[in-house]
Amino acid sequence: MAAHKSAISVGLLYIPVSMQKATRDISISFNQLTKDTHERIHYKKYCPTCSKEVPAGNIIKGYEYEKGKYVVIDNDELEKIKTKKDKTIHIEHFTSLAEINPIYYEKNYYLIPDAGAEKAYELLRQAMLSQKEAAVAKTVIGTTEQLLILYPTKEIIIAKTMFYQEEIQDIPKSSIKITVDKSELEMAKTMISAMAKPFDVSAYHDEYQARLREAIEKKIRGQEIVNIDNGAPNNIINLMDAIKGTIELANSNKGSA
Amino acid sequence: MDIFETKGIKPMLIAEMQNPFDSPEWIYEIKLDGIRCIAYLDRSGTDLRNKRDKKLLPHVPELSDIHLRTREKCILDGELFIMKNGTTDFFEIQRRALMTDPFKIKLAADRFPTSYVAYDIIYYRDLLVTDVPLMERKKLLDTIVIEDPLISVSRYIENTGTELFLATKAKGLEGIVAKLKNSKYYFDKRTKEWIKCKHMQTDDFVVCGYIKKANNMTSLIIGQYHQGELIYKGHVTLGVSLGTIYQHQPTETDYPPFRYMPEDQQEAVWFKPELVCMVESMPTDKPGLRQPVFKGIRNDKIPQDCIAAEE
């Protein structure tokens, strides 16, 4: 939910925007409970030698460079090498989306212009749309130097975070060079054409999640007997009419008396 | 572009007064404790916005079809609220407005559905009606809305504001709103033509620490910001549950967050000023809180926005 404050910077344009997540996690997550009391399980950090709990102030960071051997690095040292907090989205250059291998795409964010920045934002969006160009940009999110692709849609500019080249693994086996029979290839192509149709994302759902939600709803309904509501009428029209009626009755009685 | 398309309406604000009054020039309505909500309704659908123009419908999908309950294209001003145990429950609607998980929202909507009560009309068919006197707007509202449990029109009474005030108290409602009969609708303005009278004052405070008292009671130490500095504002004991506070993971510290240390607080456990809570109290003209009651933690407000009222 939390929006990340930023600004798009390109040439003479400086457009304050906020980055808002375009996707949400809708999968059911469970909590761990104690079997008997149904209380939430808590984690304690403890030292395996003395079996005592370690307070946050006594926990430091170490890097395991060899099995069982650590170099310790403290917060001051980390602070020194941290990327300068530059939340601005710097556009480096423009490119065609077709140039980018989709394997690099990671997460999607909506870029929402701040109040007063709408015009400059619209200018950039429309210009990119008519030139059919996307922008390659850099920014800092948290401590991460993030590579971004900005691309325009009919309504909004979307930012996609990108993997760096180092993060993409090599194909584990070298690609196989086998000659295929021409007639077999034709057969395979016929099969593909027969199964081709426009893509409709709304036709697909995670059916396990749907069954899980259904099971949970059923359980809750089973527990409704112990509902916290005391059964007082929750119809606002009745409540408003009852109050109005009481007062009008009281007033008319006064009038006739 | 037309205001129906551009949205972004900032609703008229309501001035506050301590005592209700009776006047034939005014009408009186029940004040429902919910979220102020502007509804843009036409044949194609329902769009609900809060006073900062944020879309509310994703949080209250049970109201997706209320446009089918209006006879004309219109923009309405009203309150989005949840009723629980026969009265409005602010924390329930606030919790809902912060939910993003669609399944959790659906579960909440099944148990405690929201409802919309319209008390004004801003736009009718294709034009603004903000310059039309209030009583005529009220008539328009009555003809346009086909009531059902999800959308209704706010009832009002004439003359006897004091009686309505007492009646709302008996029902556990927040109070009343008095409106001048010939008042126009002014965007984003607080005028003396719309006045609310509340039974209880509510204010938000920063949770700064607590003291354990006898018979298992916990007294919460609360503060507010004054010119950028956090200052001590007193204690609240009623309604406080330490379990609730710790569910929001406060950070304990060795020192109080105030520059000037209040007396007799040696036994206190101090927190970093990170949590905001809502406290209800009896209206009073004197400094300090009168019979304060802790109402809960607010996750939608930052501590620096808890500003001390000028005394």
pLDDT in the model for residue B299: 82
Half-sphere exposure in the Cβ direction for B125 (13 Å, CA):
2
pLDDT in the model for residue A231: 58
Per DSSP, the three-state class of A229 is coil
> How many other CB atoms sit within 10 Å of the CB of residue B195?
21
CB contact under 8 A, B103 and A26: yes
Residues of chain B found within 8 Å of residue A250, distances taken between Cβ atoms: 163
Q: CB-based contact (8 Å) between B246 and chain A?
A: no
Q: CB-based contact (8 Å) between B168 and chain A?
A: yes
Q: CB-based contact (8 Å) between B202 and chain A?
A: no
Give me the helices (H) in A44-197, please: 75-81, 118-131, 182-195
Q: What is chain A's mean pLDDT, rounded?
A: 88
Give me the helices (H) in chain B, please: 3-6, 90-98, 102-111, 134-144, 161-170, 242-247
Query: What is the distance between the alpha carbons of residues B268 and B247, in angstroms, rounded to a whole number?
Result: 19
Query: What is the distance between the alpha carbons of residues A160 and A147, in angstroms, rounded to a whole number?
Result: 9
Q: CB-based contact (8 Å) between B115 and chain A?
A: yes
Instruction: Using the predicted structure, report yes or no on whether residue A171 has a pLDDT greater than 90.
Output: no
Between A26, A216, A250, which is nearest B102 by CB?
Answer: A26
Residues of chain B found within 8 Å of residue A210, distances taken between Cβ atoms: none
| CATH code linked to domain A4-24+83-167 | 2.40.290.10
Residues of chain A found within 8 Å of residue B85, distances taken between Cβ atoms: 229-230, 232, 234
Q: CB-based contact (8 Å) between B64 and chain A?
A: no
Task: State the smallest CA–CA distance between residue A6 and chain B in angstroms.
Answer: 19
CATH 3.40.50.80 fits B201-305, yes or no: no
CATH 2.40.50.140 in chain B is located at: 201-305
What is the helix, strand, coil percentage profile of chain A, to 5? Answer: 35, 30, 35
Buried b vs exposed e over A113-133: b needs ≥16 C-beta within 10 Å?
Answer: beeebeebbeebbeebeeeeb
Q: CB-based contact (8 Å) between B127 and chain A?
A: no
Between A26, A244, A246, which is nearest B101 by CB?
Answer: A26
Query: What is the distance between the alpha carbons of residues B179 and B177, in angstroms, rounded to a whole number?
Result: 6
Burial class for B111, CB neighbours closer than 10 Å (0-12, 13-18, 19+): middle
Q: CB-based contact (8 Å) between B171 and chain A?
A: yes
Between B83, B100, B156, which is nearest A234 by CB?
Answer: B83
pLDDT in the model for residue A257: 46
Query: What is the distance between the alpha carbons of residues B10 and B189, in angstroms, rounded to a whole number?
Result: 9
pLDDT in the model for residue B311: 53
Higher pLDDT, B247 or A123: A123
CB contact under 8 A, A235 and B149: yes
Which chain B residue lies closest to A212 (C-alpha atoms)?
B103
pLDDT in the model for residue A1: 40
Between B86, B147, B156, which is nearest A237 by CB?
Answer: B147
Residues of chain B found within 8 Å of residue A216, distances taken between Cβ atoms: 103, 107
Query: What is the distance between the alpha carbons of residues B223 and B217, in angstroms, rounded to a whole number?
Result: 20
Give the mean pLDDT of A58-71: 92
Per DSSP, the three-state class of B99 is coil
Q: Give the model's confidence band at A256: pLDDT under 50 very low, under 70 low, under 90 confident, else very high.
A: low
Structural domain spans, chain A: 4-24+83-167
Q: CB-based contact (8 Å) between B140 and chain A?
A: no
Q: CB-based contact (8 Å) between B162 and chain A?
A: no
> Mind listing the pLDDT tens digit for each residue in A219-243?
888 875 444 556 566 788 988 998 9
Cα-flanking dihedrals φ and ψ of residue B10, to 5°? -100, 115
Q: CB-based contact (8 Å) between B111 and chain A?
A: yes
Strands B190-198, B13-16: pairing is parallel
Distances (CA, A) of A62 to A70, A82, B12: 6, 17, 57
Which chain B residue lies closest to A221 (C-alpha atoms)?
B111
CB contact under 8 A, B101 and A229: no
Buried b vs exposed e over A219-232: b needs ≥16 C-beta within 10 Å?
Answer: eeeeeeeeeeeeee
CATH 3.30.470.30 fits B3-198, yes or no: yes
CB contact under 8 A, B30 and A28: no
Q: ipTM, 2 decimals?
A: 0.77
Distances (CA, A) of A24 to B12, B96, B253: 34, 17, 35
Pick from A120-129, A162-171, A185-194, B256-265: least confident: B256-265
CB contact under 8 A, B155 and A240: yes
CB contact under 8 A, A235 and B32: no
CB contact under 8 A, A241 and B157: no
Q: What is the pLDDT along chain B (311 residues), one digit of tens a residue?
A: 799 999 999 999 999 887 899 999 999 999 999 999 999 999 999 999 999 899 999 999 999 999 999 999 999 999 999 998 888 888 899 889 988 889 999 999 998 999 999 999 999 999 999 999 999 999 999 999 999 999 999 999 999 999 999 999 988 889 999 999 999 999 999 999 999 999 888 889 999 999 988 778 899 999 999 988 999 998 899 999 888 898 888 988 888 888 876 676 777 899 999 999 999 988 777 778 888 999 889 887 889 989 987 65
Residues of chain B found within 8 Å of residue A240, distances taken between Cβ atoms: 30, 117, 152, 154-155
**Percent of chain A topping pLDDT 70:** 93
CB contact under 8 A, B84 and A28: no
